[in-house]
């Protein structure tokens, strides 16, 4: 059974899902773009017999507060700070960390700052290596290095319904992905302030890439137990990003599944089984 809650953090209403017995080991699930905690709706019931699960929506995502970007700094460091405050307020200081997409830089910033909190890491298409950056990132580098209003406006297509639907369906087996996830994500793009807030995060993503060497140094120093499970057909974060974890954590378990970016949509049962066999 999944229950639904809100917690006030720094004046923000943070929405989160919870499942499993709190006496079991905790797993914190960090979502990606353009989704929210609902991306874990199929996974959480499959893991709740072994883990206590918490999946929040970051500020500006899902059901959490969505302040205007002129009043709230939409950077990944700021989202990591709010998430850290959320975890501390719930007294969650000993947990497994599941990171996906945007959740990877947020999660690894938390892990670097609080290595003693981390029991192990699951990275599902959560990239921290240059090797994992697909072709689209070359265009983004041009935007980051030579930003203009016109280039910023060009990224509004990232929130178009067909773009979001494509993120879910590209690289997945035929008829394996239902419409629920992408339909809800498309609906959230209609919330006030959404687009400008998200454009700020797209611009700030460059700072995550600059932190990749720090994330990798954290792995080399602390050697957390690590599972990298990857939708191998993901065009955004390509599968060499999963293989690269072995460079820094030789004992990492790396598994590629026949799916795309949102691998949980088609392979939640397989991923749940991999998590249970690894941790």
User: Percent of the chain having pLDDT more than 90?
Assistant: 97
pLDDT digit string, tens, across residues 153-181:
999 999 999 999 999 999 999 999 999 99
Give the confidence band of 142 by pLDDT, cuts at 50, 70, 90: very high
Domain coordinates in residue numbering, the chain: 2-278
- Give the Cα separation of 37 and 58 in Å (integer): 9
- Give the Cα separation of 31 and 36 in Å (integer): 6
Closest CA to 107 of 89, 75, 84: 84
Mark whether 38 is an active-site residue. Answer: no
Q: Which two tokens stand for residue 232?
A: 């191998």
pLDDT digit string, tens, across residues 186-242:
999 999 899 999 999 999 999 999 999 999 999 999 999 999 999 999 999 999 999
- The residue whose two tokens read 């700020």 is 200
Are residues 19 and 45 in contact, defined by beta-carbon separation less than 8 angstroms?
Answer: yes
- Give the Cα separation of 158 and 254 in Å (integer): 29
Give the confidence band of 136 by pLDDT, cuts at 50, 70, 90: confident
pLDDT digit string, tens, across residues 29-59:
999 999 999 999 999 999 999 999 999 999 9
Of 69, 78, 261, 267, catalytic: 261
Number of C-alpha atoms within 13 angstroms, CB side, residue 59? 29
Q: Are strands 52-56 and 95-99 parallel, antiparallel or unpaired?
A: unpaired
**Cβ–Cβ contacts within 10 Å for residue 142, how many?**
12
Closest CA to 41 of 171, 173, 185: 185
Candidates 3.60.20.40, 3.40.50.1820, 3.30.1490.20, 3.30.420.10; CATH matching 2-278 = 3.40.50.1820
């Amino acid at each position: 059974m999944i229950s639904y809650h809100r917690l006030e953090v720094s004046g923000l209403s943070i929405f989160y899902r919870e499942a499993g017995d709190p006496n079991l080991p905790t797993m914190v699930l960090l979502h990606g773009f353009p989704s929210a905690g609902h991306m874990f709706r199929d996974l959480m019931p499959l893991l709740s017999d072994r883990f206590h699960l918490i999946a929040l929506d970051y500020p500006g995502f899902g059901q959490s507060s969505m302040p205007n970007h002129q009043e709230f700094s939409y950077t990944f460091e700021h989202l990591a700070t709010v998430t850290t405050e959320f975890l501390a307020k719930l007294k969650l200081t000993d947990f497994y960390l599941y990171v996906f997409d945007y959740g990877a830089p947020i999660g690894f910033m938390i892990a670097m700052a609080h290595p003693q909190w981390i029991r192990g890491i699951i990275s599902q298409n959560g990239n921290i290596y240059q090797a994992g950056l697909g072709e689209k990132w070359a265009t983004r580098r041009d935007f980051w290095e030579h930003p203009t209003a016109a280039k910023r406006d060009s990224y509004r297509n990232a929130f178009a319904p067909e773009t979001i639907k494509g993120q879910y369906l590209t690289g997945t087996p035929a008829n394996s992905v239902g419409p629920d996830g992408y339909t809800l994500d498309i609906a959230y793009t209609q919330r006030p302030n959404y687009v400008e807030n998200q454009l700020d995060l797209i611009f700030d993503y460059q700072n995550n890439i600059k932190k990749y060497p720090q994330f990798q140094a954290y792995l080399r120093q602390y050697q957390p137990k690590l599972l990298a499970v990857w939708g191998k057909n993901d065009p955004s974060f390509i599968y060499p990003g999963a293989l690269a974890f072995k460079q820094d954590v030789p004992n990492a378990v790396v598994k590629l599944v026949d799916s795309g970016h949102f691998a949980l949509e088609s392979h939640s049962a397989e991923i749940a089984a991999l998590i249970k066999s690894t941790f």
